[in-house]
Amino acid sequence: MADDATLQTTRTPDDTENGASPNGLTGAPEPNRGKPWYKRLSLTTWIFIALVLGVIAGVALQGAPEIADTYIKPFGTIFLNLIKMIVVPLVLFSIIAGVVSLEDVKKVGAIGGKTVLFYLITTAFAVTLGLIFANVMNVGAGYQLPSGELTYEATEPPSFIDTIVNIFPSNFFQPMADATMLQVIVIAVVFGFGMIAAGKKAKPVIDICNSLSDVCIAIMRGIILVAPFGVFGLICPVIANNGIEVLRPLLWLIVVAYLAMICQIVLVYSGIIKAFARMSPLKFLKGEMPVMGFAFASASSVGTLPINMECTEKMGVSKEVTSFVLPLGATINMDGTAIYQGVCAIFIAQVFGIDLTLGQQFTIVMTAVLASIGTAGVPGSGMIMLAMVLQSVGLPVEGVALVAGVDRILDMMRTTVNVTGDAAVATCVDAMQKRLAARRAKKAAKAA
C-alpha cells in the first residue's frame, strides 16, 4: 500500500481527467511482478476485505459490544474525523477552481440545470420504486405491533421557504465551521463568479485557490489510503451492537428496502449510465465499488464525498463536473433515503392497519422528494425526515419508533444508493457536456 501512496499522490488531476487509472481505487492493472501479495491488491480489494473482516469481528463481538465500542470504534471515528476535516476546504476550493475554469456563467447554469433535473427525476423514480416494492411485497406482513405504548418526538421540519432562505449564508465562516454543505457551495460559486468578474486583478487569488485545491486533493488521497482501517473501525461496532435479535422482527422490512435499493442501482443508474453517458454500467459499478463500500460502512454521504470525487474522476469525469455535481448531490440527492421513506411509510401504514389511497401515495412521492433534499448527508438524518413524510398523509409519527431499532442497517444501504446516484448523474452530465462541446466545435469548424 505504500506504493499506492506514491503513485496516487504524484498523479495530477489532469491524469484523471484523461481517464488514466494507474492503480488503486479502480483496481486497474499495474505492474505487479515482484511485489509481495499484500501490495498487489488494489485499495478496492482492501476496502472489501476490511468490510468482510469488520462484519466477522462484529458478529464475534455481539456478546460483548463494549469491546468493539471501546477499542475498535475510535479508529473509525478518527478516520471519519479526518475526512470531515478535509471535506469543507476540498469542496470550497475545488468548486471555486471549477467555476473559474468554466469562465462562463451560461456553462455553469447548463451544468446546474441538467444536474438538478437528473437529481429530481431519479429521486422521484426512487420513491416510486420503494412504494411499488413495499406494496407488492406486503412489507408489513407478519409484523406484530409491540404491546407497550410507542412514543416518538418528531422534530419540527423547517418550512419550504425557510429551507430556501437557509441556502444563503449570512456569514462567511459559520457554514465552514458547521459543514453546512449547501451554504459552502453557495459561497464557493459566489466567490468563483467574483473572481471571474474581477478579471486580471483576481489572478493571484485564483492561483492560490487552484493550488489549495490540489493540496486538498493530495491530503485526501493520503487519507483514503488508510480507508480500510477506517472501514473496519466503522462497521465492526455497528454489527456488534445490532444483534440478530434486534433485526429479526424487522427482517422483512430490511429485505424489501434492500431489494428496492439494489433495483435502483441495477435498473435506474445502469439505465441512465447506458443511455446518457453511453458507458458500460459494469465499468461504472466497478469504478464505484470503493465508494459503495465506504458509504456502506460510514452511512454518511458527506463523509464519502472525497472518495466519490476521486473515483468518479478516475472514471474519466472532468474535475469541473465532479467538483460541482457531487457536493451538490451529497447534500440534496438522496435516492436511497427516498426509497427508505417510501418503504417505511407503507410499512407503518400496514402495521397500523391504515389503507393509503393512490392520491396519498402520490403525496408520499412529493414529500419524500422534498424530505430527501432536506436530509443532511450524515448518519441517521433520513429517519428524522421520515416523520415529515408520515405527517403529510396523516400516518402516526410514533411509527418512526418501530423502525428506529434497525435504522443503522437501513442507513448503510440507503447511503450507498445516495452516493452511487450522485456519481451516476455526474457521469451522465459530464458525457452530455462533452458531446455538446464536440458538436459546437464541429459546427464552428464547419463555419470557419
The reply on whether position 179 binds ligand ASP by CB under 6 A is: no
Half-sphere exposure of 119 (CA within 13 A, CB side): 26
The whole-angstrom separation of Cα 188 and Cα 195 is 10
The reply on whether position 344 binds ligand ASP by CB under 6 A is: no
Q: Which residue number is nearest to ligand ASP in terms of Cβ?
A: 382
Candidates 175-183, 356-364, 378-386, 437-445 — which segment interacts with ligand ASP by CB under 6 A?
Answer: 378-386
The whole-angstrom separation of Cα 110 and Cα 437 is 12
- Minimum Å gap between C-beta 329 and ligand ASP is 10
The reply on whether position 242 binds ligand ASP by CB under 6 A is: no
**Cβ nearer to ligand ASP, comparing 192 with 303:** 303
Pattern of binders to ligand ASP over 394-423, x per CB under 6 A? -----------------x--xx--x-----
**Cβ nearer to ligand ASP, comparing 356 with 386:** 386
- Minimum Å gap between C-beta 386 and ligand ASP is 9
The whole-angstrom separation of Cα 371 and Cα 389 is 7
Please give the span between the terminal C-alpha atoms of the chain, in angstroms, as a whole number.
Answer: 52
* Other Cβ atoms closer than 10 A to 172: 11
For ligand ASP (CB under 6 A), the number of binding residues is 16
Instruction: Locate 237 and state its grid cell.
Output: 461496532
Instruction: Locate 370 and state its grid cell.
Output: 422534498
Instruction: Locate 46 and state its grid cell.
Output: 482492501
**Cβ nearer to ligand ASP, comparing 24 with 382:** 382
**DSSP code per residue over 87-129:** HHHHHHHHHHHHHHHH--HHHHHHHHHHHHHHHHHHHHHHHHH
**Cβ nearer to ligand ASP, comparing 23 with 372:** 372
Out of 169, 230, 382, 421, the residue judged to bind ligand ASP by CB under 6 A? 382
The reply on whether position 300 binds ligand ASP by CB under 6 A is: yes
**Cβ nearer to ligand ASP, comparing 302 with 397:** 302
69, burial (CB in 10 Å: exposed 0-12, middle 13-18, buried 19+): middle
Site of interaction with ligand ASP (CB under 6 A): 299-301, 334, 337, 375, 377-382, 411, 414-415, 418
